[in-house]
Structure 1
Amino acid sequence: MDADLRPEKHYTLFEDLQGLVIASAQAALGLHLLRAAGLVTGGTAGLALILSYVTHWSFGAIFFVINIPFYGFAYYARGMVFCIKSLMTVTFVSLMAEALKPLVQITAINPAAAAVLFGVSTGVGLLGLFRHSGSLGGVSIVAVILQDKFGFKAGWTQTIHDLILFAAALTIMPWHQVAWSLLGAVVLNVVIAFNHRRDWYIVT
Structure 2
Amino acid sequence: MQTSSGIHPHSRLEDAQGVLFGSVMAAFGAMLLGSAGLITGQLAGLALLVAQATGYGFGLVYLVLSLPFYGFGYRRMGAGFLRRTIAAVLLMVGTSMLLPRLIGFDTLHPAAAAVLAGFVSGAGLLALFRHRTSLGGIGAVALDLQDRLGIKAGWAQMGFDAVLFAAALAVLPLDRVLWSALGAAVLNLVIAINHRRDRYIV
**Structure 1 residue aligned with 2:78:** 79
> 2:154 matched to 1:155?
yes
State the SS of the aligned residue for 1:162.
Answer: helix
State the SS of the aligned residue for 1:65.
Answer: helix
Deviation, 1:107, is 3.0
CA deviation profile, 1:46-102 (whole Å, cap 9, x unmatched): 111111111111110110111011111110111111111111111111111111111
Deviation, 1:6, is 4.8
Would you say the 8 A contact 1:36–1:108 is kept in 2? Answer: no
Give TM-score scaled by structure 2 length.
Answer: 0.95
State the SS of the aligned residue for 2:8.
Answer: coil
Rate the CA distance shift 1:5–1:74 in 2: closer, same or farther, 3 A: closer
**Structure 1 residue aligned with 2:54:** 55
> 2:90 matched to 1:91?
yes
Q: Give the number of equivalent residue pairs.
A: 200
State the SS of the aligned residue for 1:30.
Answer: helix
Deviation, 1:35, is 0.8
State the SS of the aligned residue for 1:152.
Answer: coil
**Whole-Å separation in 2 of the counterparts to 1:21 and 1:100:** 15
Aligned pairs for 1:45-194 (under 5 A) are 45-194=44-193
**Structure 2 residue aligned with 1:41:** 40
**Whole-Å separation in 2 of the counterparts to 1:56 and 1:177:** 17
> 2:189 matched to 1:195?
no
Deviation, 1:174, is 0.4
Partner amino acid, structure 2, of 1:178? V
**Whole-Å separation in 2 of the counterparts to 1:7 and 1:140:** 29
Rate the CA distance shift 1:195–1:54 in 2: closer, same or farther, 3 A: same
CA RMSD of aligned residues (A): 1.4
CA deviation profile, 1:156-198 (whole Å, cap 9, x unmatched): 0100001111111100110000000000000000000011012
Deviation, 1:5, is 5.6
Q: Identity over the aligned pairs, expressed in percent? A: 47
CA deviation profile, 1:126-152 (whole Å, cap 9, x unmatched): 100000011111110000111122221
Q: Which range moves more in the overlay, 73-82 or 174-183?
A: 73-82
**Whole-Å separation in 1 of the counterparts to 2:5 and 2:50:** 49
**Whole-Å separation in 1 of the counterparts to 2:192 and 2:28:** 20
Rate the CA distance shift 1:72–1:201 in 2: closer, same or farther, 3 A: same
Partner amino acid, structure 2, of 1:198? R
Give TM-score scaled by structure 1 length.
Answer: 0.94
Would you say the 8 A contact 1:74–1:83 is kept in 2? Answer: yes
Rate the CA distance shift 1:6–1:73 in 2: closer, same or farther, 3 A: closer
